[in-house]
């Protein structure tokens, strides 16, 4: 039988966590098992996770754990975020958009927001009173942020914003949007700025909640801006520096996607190991057959290899040394592996694996977005190749 480490469901021993991280993991795991898992099937039908779940997550410190105490957080290191991502993934709870909120929205505000902006939003993001979304993707611009068409025109002490965003996670119930837009359309990448937009502003409108093949409980929506306004003080950093901010924080986003993808591999493999040891076929267990053992052993070796690389990336990030190229490598390998592992594991479940009541079926459809989100894997290959050829 393949041994699974007790701490995180990994198939290899890990040495990146301290006792306080393990204690936090126990707390998060209990919360996920009691407050999220029992309701997740209903949330999948509803297409949304209720705000009550966000508030409860805020109470135990699951939201924005890296936010400093002066803004209502606990000032924890990134490993607390790692634990949160791993535990939600391990439990196959794909609905709550906590990762987007905590690891993709809050970091922009914390890094480049004015003191006023930080005080206005971060404390309530920590508690779950306010839900954040990242407004980057448009109908004609996804992985290439230079092609954004959403326009923010400076009028007096405000920006007047017009444009459209799509595929926005948390879009149906977000209270704020970190919005990528053009403040100088003629300047290409140097004309991109990030502005925090209050969803209560006149001129902001939510479009339809989009129907997806997976991640059904995580609300995804279109957003429209029709002369919506935001004060100049809501801009993050200097005007025209948004593209550089996106490139900086995309490394963290892609690492987080890699962490999620690798954890999903481990979870799928664990479910399959348990299942094949119980499933009887031709007078023996499915797990007793050599083909089963060899396929799962190969997957276990590859997942273990992926775990080593992801944990290496986490160490690099903690040290402030994770490059955009290395984050792209981690995202590429972990998400490609995720797709292959859930596909091969589902095969062992036979017809049961095609039924949505089995976790492996949900994991199969949910895995597909990981090769698109955070920059399509084709873009990851382009980033890696560009760096490789530049150095040789």
Catalytic residue IDs: 253
Backbone angles phi, psi at 33, to 5 degrees: -70, -30
128 contacts 51 by C-beta, under 8 angstroms:
yes
Beta strands 151-155 and 192-198: pairing type? Answer: unpaired
331 vs 314: CA distance, rounded Å: 12
197 vs 161: CA distance, rounded Å: 9
Residues 6+ apart with CB under 8 A from 86: 8, 9, 25, 259, 263
362 contacts 94 by C-beta, under 8 angstroms:
yes
Backbone angles phi, psi at 224, to 5 degrees: -125, 140
Q: Which two tokens stand for residue 354?
A: 């095609």
């Amino acid at each position: 039988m393949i041994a699974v480490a007790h701490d995180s469901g990994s198939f290899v021993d890990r040495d990146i966590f301290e006792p306080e991280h393990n204690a936090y993991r126990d707390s998060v795991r209990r919360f996920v098992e009691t407050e999220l898992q029992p309701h997740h099937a209903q949330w999948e039908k509803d297409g949304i996770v209720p705000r009550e779940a966000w508030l409860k997550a805020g109470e135990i410190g699951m939201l924005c754990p890296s936010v400093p105490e002066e803004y209502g957080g606990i000032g924890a290191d990134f490993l607390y975020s790692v634990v949160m991502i791993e535990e939600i993934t391990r439990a196959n709870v794909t609905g709550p958009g906590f990762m987007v909120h905590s690891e993709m929205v809050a970091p922009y505000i914390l890094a480049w927001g004015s003191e006023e902006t930080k005080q206005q939003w971060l404390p309530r993001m920590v508690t779950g009173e306010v839900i954040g979304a990242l407004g980057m993707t448009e109908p004609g611009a996804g992985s290439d942020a230079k092609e954004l068409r959403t326009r923010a025109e400076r009028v007096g002490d405000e920006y007047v914003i017009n444009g459209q965003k799509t595929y926005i996670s948390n879009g149906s119930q977000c209270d704020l949007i970190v919005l990528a837009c053009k403040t100088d359309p003629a300047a290409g990448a140097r004309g991109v700025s990030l502005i925090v937009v209050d969803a209560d502003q006149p001129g902001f409108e939510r479009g339809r909640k989009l129907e997806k093949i997976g991640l059904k409980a995580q609300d995804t929506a279109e957003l429209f801006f029709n002369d919506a306004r935001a004060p100049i003080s809501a801009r993050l950093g200097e005007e025209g520096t948004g593209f550089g901010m996106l490139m900086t924080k995309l490394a963290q986003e892609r690492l987080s996607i890699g962490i999620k993808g690798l954890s999903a591999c481990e979870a799928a493999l664990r479910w399959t190991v348990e299942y094949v040891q119980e499933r009887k076929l031709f007078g023996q267990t499915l797990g007793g057959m050599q083909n089963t053992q060899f396929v799962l052993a190969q997957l276990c070796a590859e997942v273990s290899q992926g775990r080593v690389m992801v944990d290496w990336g986490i160490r690099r990030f903690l040290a402030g040394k994770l490059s955009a190229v290395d984050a792209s490598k981690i995202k590429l390998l972990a998400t490609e592996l995720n797709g292959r592992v859930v596909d091969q594991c589902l095969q062992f479940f036979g017809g049961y694996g095609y039924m949505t009541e089995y976790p492996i079926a949900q994991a199969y459809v949910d895995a597909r977005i990981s090769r698109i989100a955070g920059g399509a894997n084709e873009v990851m290959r382009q980033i890696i190749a560009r760096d490789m050829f530049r150095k040789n």
